[in-house]
Amino acid sequence: MVDRISDWKAFSSHMEEYIGNRTVDKYGTDGFDLMSITGNPLIPVWNILKYSLRIWRNNMKPHDIEKIAHYACLAWVLSKGEPIRMHEKDPSTKVISSGN
């Protein structure tokens, strides 16, 4: 029988170690990190897409899955767990096609 809770606990433990050892010092210092300067949860969503497409194209690099998971967490934190919506008037986004 599959135990998703145990899987999640193992993955969560792995991610805690990954974030602590590979991202905190690389992308931040003294409690500040690069993601703290954006309030837009679309930024990490775009990065999820970037790493997902790299895997899809058979160009996966070490830790791409961890990067996707970390960006998913950042998107969730920035969105406060609410649905993420792109607004056309947001200067940090550009709508390529409105479906017309």
pTM attached to this predicted model: 0.78
State how far the Cα of 44 lies from the Cα of 30, in Å rounded to an integer: 22
pLDDT tens figures, 47-92: 999 999 999 999 999 999 999 999 999 999 999 989 888 776 665 5
- List alpha helices for 1-100, DSSP H: 4-22, 24-27, 42-56, 64-79
* Dihedral angle, C-alpha 10, 12, 15, 21, nearest 10 °: -90
pLDDT tens figures, 6-19: 999 999 999 999 98
pLDDT at 89: 62
In the chain, the amino acid numbered 56 is W
| 32 in Cβ contact with 26 (< 8 Å) | no
Reading the block at residue 76, the tokens are 């969730």
First to last CA, the chain: 47
